Structure 1
Amino acid sequence: MLRKQTYDELTEVLSEADLRGVRECAERMLADLGAERQVRERTVMVAYGGGKDSAYMLAFVRAVQLLIAREYGDTFTMRVVTMRHAGMPYAVMANVDRSYQALRLYDDPDCELLLVDGNEVNPFHVDRPQSPEVVERNRTDILMTGHRTFADGRPTFCNACNFSVAAAFGLAAAYDGGVDMIVTGDSPQEQRSYFLWICRLARRLGVRLPERGESGSVSFGSVLSVIDDIAAAYFADIHGTGAKTEIAERRVEARVPRRLSFFTIYTDTAYASGDHWELLTGYLRFVFDDTAFNFTESDCANPALMAHLRALRCERLYGQRYADGLAEYVEFAINLMRGKQIPEYLIQVMRDRYAGPDAPERMRQAMNAYALDTFGITEEQLVAMVYSPFAERGLGLADYLRVEHPALAAQQERIVAVLNGQRDPDVEESLRAISGLRTDQLRTLYTSTLRPRSGELTGGAMVDLILEGDPHKRTVLTRQDPNGPAVPELISGR
């Protein structure tokens, strides 16, 4: 009865085109799973990150599951997986919970609802506390990467997170007997682009390429194994080759079932959120919360922190007003939103949030509070990131100390001695306070490369290899000196 009620409700909120897509998708999925009689033995995995697009995909696949049950008397088990990171506010978990309630997933024995926190897989519960280990891992990745890139948004927040997504896929796909199929909304062209990106990285890093089986196809496990090798190389570069624990914690699980296949719904439906507004905000009760909806993302607060860091960089490094740097990022991010075809009324929400004379100070306070509450990072430590003073053998250290910490400027020789391996407890404590990093981490930065201030991708640097070909970057004109001309600078973000 609950299934019938849910299916009937979905037929009311899905368009005729969507319902045709549901039927066509069901037929293709049954064929790929191995005929109707075996469907009950199959498990299909759907990733639900808590954003608007994945919410729609979840509803669509739920409709497929229920249609198969209506027509054949049985259906597949749907495993829904949410990967949580520290930048995912509670509002996202609440959106996930409301979607599960609306689709009656909690009440259906053929639905498995999982939450992946770092290397842990647990049943989803909206009030499950955030893992302190995941928070610390995210905090360290942000600081160590930010100090290599003048806190540029995309590498600082997204590089490590993307590896975490792959790891979560592997963990969830292998969990409790594994799954038979992963449903994606990516087109075959997008999937091929991801595969080629992985192969390009593997070649550049000198790690093995994905292996093809007897049929000539590449298994998901083989791809995950290569991503694991890439992740190991990346995190060894970021945290140092001696950081064995940090590298091991960030491994990507590749032991997924060999039977696992990918299935795309790209040809069956359209993702544009504006076309599914009633389904999202009415039926699923999806809320575009101020903490969760930020620029291109509807399930993450970090893009607002990226804007804050850009504003701090313009203020502290370039001598501009904080408000000018913030406005620069807002325009950049709105262009990204338009590129992703986000509805104009959601773009206007972003414009309104950052508009008005009080907005810069309000957002500054909000993001300082968010950084401190979520990651334990102070504004002083954010400022240290935008200077990136320790990398490249302390290339920017003198300027940073002179401007931001004049009391420490006289101790620069002692600081350099610490960075070169000497012990000096007083200096080490001061450095930890202003950076948020341990002495061994600062020493790793000291011997690491630093991206140019222009934002130009230097090609050989590990942090930039990940970003090659990434669409979330633009060249902006900015004044790096208050009295100088506007010069081009490559920035990235979400």
Structure 2
Amino acid sequence: MNNFHEQAMSSVYQQVLHRLLGFFSRSERIALQLLIQRLLVAAGGVERIERYRVMVVHEGGKECAYTLAFLRAAQLSISGRSPHTFILRIAILRQPRMTANVMERIQAQCSELFMYDDSRVELLLVDEQAATRLHKQVGFESLSCDLNRTQVLMSGHLTHGDARATFLYADLLSRAKLYRRASNWGVKVDALIDRRPPTHLGQYVRWIQQVAKQQGHSPNGEHRQGFESAVKLCSQLDDDYKQLLRLPAAPGSEASAGEGAGDINVINVFDCLCHEMDVLHSPVLVFMEGAWNIKALNIEEPQAAVVLVAAHVHGMRGAYQYGVEYSVGADAYLRRASRENTCNDRFKGQLIKQLGAVFDTPKQLEKLRGAAAQYLSKLHGLNDEQLGCLICSPFVNQADGLEPFLQKCHPDKVQRIKDFHRVLMGNPAPLQANVAWLESISGLPLASLQALYHMQKIDFTQCNSLIASLWAHDPNKQAWHTAPGIEAPD
């Protein structure tokens, strides 16, 4: 009976492979063979492939879905030619951007590829507490946004709403502990799949090393240039970041753990993913994700979200700081992003150019505003009023920007400015109504507001703080602190 089951499942897997290959173009088939060869060489030959574990992180986006299709095709192709194949570990990181809708798409892809019943596939859901094996499609709840909202808002107030510093830095650093937990679960993986351009990982590692050195951390040991060292340094910086924002350290901080015998290999597959193609309209991606309709504005697509949230912040900055229409700032951002990605042959470059072409009218940009506001509310519990507040940053530097903020945005509250200062300084027995208003307009608890009052706004020209150092060395930073194309009114 057991042998019959194995034969039946083997037939099912070959049908899955046949169906997958039917969607591959000629160039994609050539790329698939290159990927198979690269995996076999990394494993040390077909005779060792059975014990070789590779891990890919699935963030829910279309580029991830496309990569997953290639890896599954490679895994099943090898098993069709030899008795064994590599073990594929899929790590789903439970971060704020992993919403229930995104998780549902990932689970549907895994089901379509018959991964749940395949012992050669390890599907993990990873959070700050543990890594959990998923054997079937399960219900999923997004993370509670309370701690995350405080982290985002504190970062935003310190940086006047710089989009990367506000929404991405903490997210990037916090991944380190999740990567370690995923890679060390059960039997440690041998390799991590990297789908970005080959230079990208080197830039990222140098970025982290430069920042870590300025923070007093330095790589040590024989793996100082490898994956393990980068993860360790990121974990330390994540703890530093939370300490800077007066937040509790993440549970399970393991900055010194994990560097065991042998570093994890990184297998770059950028050139195996037919990056010169129009990935957005590849039949493989259509099979994995369904037809792509950019006008439907699926802002939960992770890479679209990065671009559209940044455009939204620029639109809000125009409205709050420059007194112009929201559409002016948002349009300026998308136009410049499109220009600067004209030579980008990655999925991201294709996506940005299409987004810029679609959201090019005030009506479409107003649609973007509503979608982005709803998205930030869902992820971070953040509303437009609180986003405008952090862009103005009225509470840092002993609230030296509070009066102009009130005069411009809340003139009915100007007469209470002395009371607000007393609250922020921590004077005893403040009026609860004043506390409630400050917490409402900022989205922050009183303790965080009082911490901001005694903190200095980040000076991006000086590497004298962790956030400033992250920004200074960031290979992908966008020096658009003032919205391009927007002039302050006379």
State the TM bucket, normalised to the shorter chain: 0.7 to 0.9
Say whether 1:390 aligns with 2:395: yes
Match of 1:436 among 432, 443, 449: 443
| C-alpha contact (below 8 Å) 2:342/2:353 kept by paired residues | no
Please state whether the residue corresponding to 1:460 is helix, strand or coil: coil
Q: Does 1:92 align with 2:102?
A: yes
Per the alignment, residue 278 of structure 1 pairs with 282
**Distance (Å, rounded) in 2 between the aligned partners of 1:287 and 1:393:** 52
Letter in 1 for 2:24: L
2:236 maps to what in 1? Answer: 229
Contact 1:170–1:252 (Cα < 8 Å) also in 2: no
Map of 1:305 onto structure 2: 309
- Equivalences, count: 470
Report the residue type matching 1:325 in the other structure: G
Q: 1:206 to 1:122 in 2, by over 3 A?
A: same
Moved more, 182-191 or 308-317: 182-191
Instruction: Give the Å deviation of 1:189.
Output: 3.1
Contact 1:23–1:67 at 8 Å: present in 2 too?
no
Does the 8 Å contact 1:51/1:298 carry over to 2?
yes
- The CA distance in 2 between the partners of 1:293 and 1:270, in whole Å, is 25
Aligned twin of 1:169: 179
Partners of 2:436 and 2:148 in 1: CA distance: 22
Counterpart residue number, 1:367: 372
Q: What secondary structure sits across from 1:450 in the alignment?
A: coil
Partners of 1:342 and 1:27 in 2: CA distance: 23
**Aligned twin of 2:151:** 141
Structure 1 stretch displaced more, 96-105 or 354-363 = 354-363
| Alignment check: 8 A CA contact 1:149 1:450 kept | yes
- In the other structure, the counterpart of 1:491 is none
Inter-partner Cα distance in structure 1 for 2:103 and 2:312:
24
Q: What secondary structure is seen at the aligned counterpart in 2 of 1:104?
A: coil
Tell me the secondary structure at the aligned position of residue 25 of structure 1: helix
The aligned counterpart of 1:33 is 43
Task: State how far apart, in whole Å, the 2-side matches of 1:460 and 1:288 are.
Answer: 44
Tell me which residue corresponds to 1:58. 68
Q: 1:233/1:170 Cα in 2 relative to 1: closer, same or farther (>3 Å)?
A: same
8 Å contact from structure 2 (residues 194, 268) kept in 1: yes
Deviation at 1:253, TM superposition (A): 8.4
> Cα distance 1:323–1:219, how it changes in 2: closer, same or farther (>3 A)?
closer
Distance apart, 1:308 and its partner CA: 2.3
Partner residue of 1:464 out of 460, 465, 468: 468
- In the TM superposition, 1:204-283 aligns within 5 A as 204-212=214-222, 218-237=225-244, 239-240=245-246, 243=247, 245-246=248-249, 248=251, 254-255=257-258, 258-259=261-262, 260-272=264-276, 274-275=278-279, 277-283=281-287
1:334–1:127 distance in 2 versus 1, CA, 3 Å: farther
Pick which of 283-292 and 79-88 moved more.
283-292
Paired residues of 1:88 and 1:292 also in contact (CA < 8 A): no
SS at match of 1:75: coil
CA displacement 1:347-372 (0-9 Å, x = unmatched): 56524643444334433333333333
User: Which amino acid is the alignment partner of residue 466 of structure 1?
Assistant: L
The 1:130–1:273 alpha-carbon spacing in structure 2 relative to 1, beyond 3 Å, is farther
Q: Is the 8 A contact 1:293 1:301 kept in 2?
A: yes
Gaps of 5+ in 1: 484-494
Residue by residue, what CA displacement relative to the aligned partner does 1:429-487 show, whole Å, maximum 9, x if unpaired?
221111110111112212222146xxx5433232222122432415564445211xxxx
Q: 1:112 aligns with which of 110, 113, 122?
A: 122
Q: Note if contact 1:224-1:253 (Cα within 8 Å) is conserved in structure 2.
A: no
The equivalent residue for 2:342 is 338
Q: Which deviates further from its counterpart, 8-17 or 154-163?
A: 8-17
Answer whether contact 1:88 1:301 (CA < 8 A) is retained: no
Q: Pick the aligned partner of 1:158 from 151, 154, 168.
A: 168
Where in structure 2 are there 5+ consecutive unaligned residues? 1-10
Q: Which amino acid aligns with 1:374?
A: L
Q: In the alignment, which residue of structure 2 is the partner of 1:376?
A: 381
Quick one: which amino acid aligns to residue 153 of structure 1? Answer: A
Alpha carbons of structure 1 residues 263 and 236: separation in structure 2 relative to 1, 3 Å: same
Shift of 1:171: 1.5
Q: 2:132 aligns with which of 122, 130, 147?
A: 122
Q: Which moved more, 1:304-313 or 1:166-175?
A: 304-313
- SS in structure 2 at match of 1:315: helix
Residues 166, 252 of structure 1: 8 Å contact kept = no
Is the Cα–Cα contact under 8 Å of residues 354 and 363 in structure 1 kept in the other structure? yes
SS at match of 1:10: helix
Could you list the per-position Cα deviations for residues 22-58 of structure 1 after superposition, in whole angstroms to 9, with x for gaps in the alignment? Answer: 3343344234324433432332111121222222221
Distance 1:149 1:181, change over 3 A: same
Whether the 8 Å CA contact 1:402–1:409 is kept in 2: the answer is: yes
1:489 corresponds in structure 2 to none
Query: Deviations 1:314-358 (Å, cap 9, x if unpaired)?
Result: 112211122212222221333355353367985565246434443
The corresponding residue for 2:209 is: 199
* Contact 2:299–2:375, Cα closer than 8 Å, also in 1: no
Does residue 481 (structure 1) correspond to residue 484 (structure 2)? The answer is no
The amino acid of 2:261's aligned partner reads R
1:487 matched residue in structure 2 = none
Asked whether the equivalents of residues 149 and 156 of structure 1 are also in contact (C-alpha less than 8 Å), the reply is: yes
**Residues 368, 378 of structure 1: 8 Å contact kept:** yes
When normalised by structure 2's length, the TM-score is: 0.85
Q: What CA distance in whole angstroms lies between the structure 2 residues aligned with 1:434 and 1:128?
A: 34
Could you tell me whether the CA contact under 8 Å between 1:89 and 1:301 is conserved in 2?
no
DSSP-derived class of the 1:418 partner: helix
1:74 aligns with: 84
Amino acid in the other structure paired with 1:146? G
Q: Distance in 2 between matches of 1:402 and 1:437?
A: 21
CA distance in 1, matches of 2:297, 2:397: 35
Matches of 2:366 and 2:126, distance apart in 1: 35
1:492 is aligned to: none
